[in-house]
Structure 1
Amino acid sequence: MKWAISILLFLACIGVSAQSKMKLAAMQQGAGPGVIYDGQNAADPVNEVNGVANTQDSANATWSSDTGTGVTNGTYCLVVTHGTTGTGSTSRIQTQNIEIGDEIQVVMDVNKRSGTNVTIVLATADGWDVQDTGTVNSENGVTRTATATASNPDIRVVYGSGASTGSSHGIDNIVLTKLN
């Protein structure tokens, strides 16, 4: 009888382990519990299209979609390109399905194509409870975490005033996960 119980426990553990691995694989592909980004653009790991929906240009930077440097998931990536040296720029990635009080982890891949580094910011002025910021050269798995104080707060993509003309970065595989 003890050996039968041991076998049942062993089989149950194998089943749980397999389920956990499947959930992890789904989340790594951008799908799974709590994953809420629905950009429907070149950086969306679930609904990728050749486009720049849910982004906002600034007066000195523009978004495009491309297949070159910066693609880490799928076929395309978003590309943000800075305009004129001597003038900073703040472009935005717009979020969806975020409500006030949602604690959100933002993960994305950012790869330099040319020029100056870029800063990825969750800003209090855009509806986040803390200013979570960091300059990025080229890095997969850039992570920022904050709680929404407004519905659908933006993610800032900032080039400082010292950024050179034509500086650009590929941004891909954006995953927003609700933590609470």
Structure 2
Amino acid sequence: MASYNRVILVGNLTRDIELRYIPSGQAVSDVTVAVNDRRKTASGEWVDEATFVDVTLWGRNAEVASEYLSKGSPVLIEGRLKLDRWETDGQKRSKLRVICEKMQMLGGRSGGGSEHHSSQRGGSGQTAENHGGYNSQGADDYSADSGARDAQPTGRGTGYDDPDIPF
């Protein structure tokens, strides 16, 4: 039987990141991401509910996050679930956490503490992965507002019936 263990979260950090290094020299950081959900109850009123998810960042993910993110920063996390088990005072305990494999910073310079942001093809933000390190096009590509894009046509203006347009 096949197994699939994949988690994608978009939320905000609940505290500043504390970076530490294990004896082998690899960086690690434990963070909590608040994921908000808004839904309507049976009576028709809106209810906001926050879910707090523990996430472990390793390697370059942890280093990049500690350098550019702070409390309240929006972030996208992709990873896998891991069940931690331990025993305290004779009682067995367990906790689910997400092991981050890919991290992308969301928002801009004013968006929750990010000081710099990198533009990348296919999306805005900086991506760091455990496989291959920090994916940036270079320090010269930093911009204050990488989320800003040129206006895209909506299909309702004049000239959209022109047969020479390739779409």
Asked if Structure 1 and Structure 2 have the same fold, meaning a TM-score greater than 0.5 normalized by the shorter chain, the answer is: no
Which TM-score bucket, shorter chain as reference? under 0.3
More helix per residue: 1 or 2? 1
More strand per residue: 1 or 2? 2
Larger RCO: 1 or 2 (CA < 8 Å, sep 6+) = 1
